[in-house]
């Protein structure tokens, strides 16, 4: 990543992730989006449903990152304590947010249901936070500017988290993102072991510090090797970033072809 990259942390909250009941797809999705926006994802941490432990990790994050995104723990049950942990870390009170309460009330009244203590709980945000609308589910999100660090708390349900991030969070993050464009180019190489590609990968990665190059084995090392090559580059324009990333991928592809390899799917995103 470029030296001007702004650090971000991702905190995924939930015992269900730590015991292996749920696959943490939220973290990978958020990491990809933040990276393509130009942020450096410095940490991805999974935290249990414990107020003190959430507060500890939020405290570490705000001391070192410009953007902190949490997912999970915003619902109506006893173990949904993410915002309580955020409030404790920042020394803020957790209080009913009028806009969040209006959102929760509308969600349930549309279904003929009244507010209960558990439903009102979802409208309790740290003092000074903005409520993020949830067009898919019940629990609003929270966005708080704490001394220049944005702390964004989103639900753990992937459909809710993705919609809220795309519609309401990403436009705010673009105001903080470095003035760079990120492009990722890739190619799938068939028939050449990863160990055979290692010398050219090392050479290509070492010669272009502004490009992050990585190989991902998808098959057996010797019996049917399939290697995915990915290069992430940053620049002032899409064209420049694309040229940088493609040049690295093509160097590896050319080396592979000389050794009898074939190239499957290839392209660029960003």
- pLDDT reported for residue 168: 97
Domains of the chain in start order, with CATH, are: 6-176 (3.40.980.10), 181-269 (3.30.70.260)
Percent of the chain residues past pLDDT 70, beyond the cut? 98
Instruction: Quote the mean pLDDT of the chain.
Output: 94
- pLDDT reported for residue 2: 45
209 or 258: which leads in pLDDT: 258
DSSP letter for each residue of 209-249: TTEEEEEEE-S-SSSS-EEEEEEEEEESSHHHHHHHHHHHH
Whole-angstrom distance, CA of residue 140 vs CA of residue 101: 9
pLDDT tens track for 91-110: 999 999 999 999 999 999 98
**Strand-strand pairing, 226-235 and 181-190:** antiparallel
Percent of the chain residues past pLDDT 90, beyond the cut? 87
Mean pLDDT for 181-197 is: 95
Mean pLDDT for 85-92 is: 98
- Tell which residue, 158, 164, 189, has the closest CA to residue 262: 189
Mean pLDDT for 133-155 is: 97
Q: Which pair of structure tokens corresponds to residue 190?
A: 């068939």
SS3 143: strand
pLDDT tens track for 10-53: 999 999 999 999 999 999 999 999 998 989 999 999 999 999 99
Mean pLDDT for 206-235 is: 91
- pLDDT reported for residue 3: 44
Please state whether 130 falls in left (phi above 0), alpha (psi between -120 and 50) or beta. Answer: beta
Q: Which pair of structure tokens corresponds to residue 86?
A: 């955020």
- pLDDT reported for residue 4: 60
């Amino acid at each position: 990543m470029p030296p001007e990259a702004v650090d971000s942390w991702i905190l995924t909250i939930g015992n269900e992730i730590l015991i292996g009941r749920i696959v943490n797809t939220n973290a990978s999705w958020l990491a990809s989006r933040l990276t393509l926006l130009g942020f450096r994802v410095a940490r991805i941490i999974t935290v249990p449903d414990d107020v003190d432990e959430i507060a500890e990790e939020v405290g570490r994050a705000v001391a070192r990152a410009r953007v902190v995104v949490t997912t999970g723990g915003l619902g109506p049950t006893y173990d949904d304590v993410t915002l309580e942990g955020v409030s404790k870390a920042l020394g803020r009170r957790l209080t009913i947010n009028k806009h969040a309460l209006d959102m929760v009330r509308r969600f349930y009244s549309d279904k003929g249901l009244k507010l209960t203590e558990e439903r009102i709980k979802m409208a309790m945000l740290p003092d000074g936070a903005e409520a993020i609308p949830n067009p898919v589910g019940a629990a609003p999100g929270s966005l708080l500017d704490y001394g220049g660090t944005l702390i964004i708390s989103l639900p753990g349900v992937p459909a809710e988290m993705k919609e809220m991030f795309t519609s309401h969070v990403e436009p705010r993050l673009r105001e903080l993102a470095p003035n760079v464009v990120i492009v990722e180019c890739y190619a799938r190489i068939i028939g050449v072991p990863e160990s055979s590609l290692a010398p050219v990968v090392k050479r290509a990665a070492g010669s272009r510090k502004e490009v992050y190059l990585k190989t991902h084995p998808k098959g057996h090392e010797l019996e049917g090797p399939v290697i995915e090559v990915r290069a992430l580059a940053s620049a002032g324009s899409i064209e420049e970033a694309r040229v940088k990333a493609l040049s690295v991928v093509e160097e590896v592809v050319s080396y592979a072809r000389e050794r009898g390899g074939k190239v499957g799917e290839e392209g660029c995103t960003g």
